């Protein structure tokens, strides 16, 4: 079946997601995370793109960027190719590291741009990896709050202030942008095995008796493992609204 054509952005700005093949980890340790960030910075000058946000999440990553001298496909051929070559050398492996081609969505207006920016920075919170986005080491959040290194923070601060940026990121929200499960669905049997592995619960009734804070943490973990909101709700018996509130 032929691939569908990638949607072209009139603004040149895209939200990109790249994930590990078969959901495998693509960042095993701090060195891996830092090397990818260095790669992203290195090719910025060569390819001429602007970086507005990034977040590395173990088995996938999110980037918000604007293409310029080179188009998106060539940009990610360079970035992904460089990282895979280094990763395979480090771990003495061969073959593909990323799942198929990268996913992308065009970002055409300021409102959605800010939504994607917040969505990317809050990914670690929704996965239960930190309580505040500024506490996560492998995202661009702290470039906005402290000293920018290679992220183009001035673009955002040209139309909102730093305090507005902070307030916007602290707002309760149900942002739903490019999802990790997009184009990749876990079967119910795979999802049930993940539930057993993560929660140590053998059935729905046992999950529903969990203390609320522990239950909500598990919901975040299940979502980060690739389960959809509807699948979590259906297989745990927890209402869709509660699941949405806790991812």
Q: Domain coordinates of the chain in residue numbers?
A: 13-170, 188-245
% residues pLDDT > 90 (the chain): 49
% residues pLDDT > 70 (the chain): 94
Distances from the Cα of 20 to the Cαs of 4, 26, 92, in angstroms? 21, 6, 17
Distances from the Cα of 40 to the Cαs of 4, 18, 75, in angstroms? 27, 13, 10
Instruction: Output phi, psi for 2, to 5 deg.
Output: -65, 150
Q: Which two tokens stand for residue 160?
A: 């909102």
CB contact set of 234 (below 8 Å; sequence gap of 6+): none
Sheet architecture: strand order including 50-56: 50-56, 60-66, 13-19, 103-106
Of 24-33, 151-160, 178-187, 201-210, the range with the highest mean pLDDT is 151-160
Task: With cut-offs at 50, 70 and 90, classify the pLDDT of residue 58.
Answer: confident
With 80 as the cut, is the pLDDT of residue 166 above it?
yes
Cα–Cα distance, 163 to 122 (Å, whole number): 17
* Ramachandran region, residue 240 (left: φ > 0; alpha: ψ -120 to 50; beta: rest): alpha
Q: H or E segment at 16?
A: strand 13-19
Residues 181-234 have pLDDT tens digits of: 544 566 778 888 888 888 888 888 888 889 988 898 888 888 877 788 888 888
With 60 as the cut, is the pLDDT of residue 162 above it?
yes
Strand segments, DSSP code E, in 41-122 are 50-56, 60-66, 103-106
With 90 as the cut, is the pLDDT of residue 88 above it?
yes
Q: Is 118 exposed, middle or buried (0-12, 13-18, 19+ CB in 10 A)?
A: buried
CATH number of 13-170: 3.30.70.1290
Q: What is the pTM of this model?
A: 0.73
Torsion angle in degrees (nearest 10) through CA of 79, 106, 168, 144: 30
CA 159 to chain centre: 25
Amino acid 23: pLDDT: 72
* First and final C-alpha spacing in the chain: 33
Q: Is 16 exposed, middle or buried (0-12, 13-18, 19+ CB in 10 A)?
A: buried
């Amino acid at each position: 079946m032929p691939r569908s054509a990638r949607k072209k952005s009139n603004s040149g700005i895209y939200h990109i997601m790249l994930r590990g093949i078969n959901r495998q980890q693509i960042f095993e340790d701090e060195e891996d995370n830092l090397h990818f960030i260095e790669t992203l910075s290195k090719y910025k000058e060569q390819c001429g793109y602007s970086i507005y946000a990034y977040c590395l999440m173990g088995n996938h990553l999110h980037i918000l960027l604007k293409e310029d001298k080179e188009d998106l496909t060539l940009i990610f051929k360079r970035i992904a190719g460089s990282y895979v070559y280094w990763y395979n050398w480090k771990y003495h492996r061969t073959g593909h590291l990323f799942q198929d081609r990268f996913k992308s969505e065009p970002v055409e207006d300021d409102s959605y741009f800010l939504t994607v920016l917040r969505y990317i920075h809050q990914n670690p919170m929704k996965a239960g990896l930190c309580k505040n986005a500024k506490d996560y080491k492998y995202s661009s959040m702290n470039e906005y709050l402290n000293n920018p290194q290679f992220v183009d923070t001035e673009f955002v601060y040209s139309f909102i202030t730093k305090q507005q940026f902070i307030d916007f990121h602290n707002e309760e929200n149900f942002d739903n942008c490019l999802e990790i499960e997009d184009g990749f669905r876990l079967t119910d049997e795979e999802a049930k095995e993940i539930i057993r592995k993560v929660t140590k619960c053998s059935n729905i009734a046992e999950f529903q008796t969990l203390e609320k804070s522990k239950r909500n943490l598990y919901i975040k973990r299940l979502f980060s493992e690739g389960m959809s909101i509807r699948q979590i709700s259906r297989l745990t018996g927890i209402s869709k609204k509660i699941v949405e509130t806790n991812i």
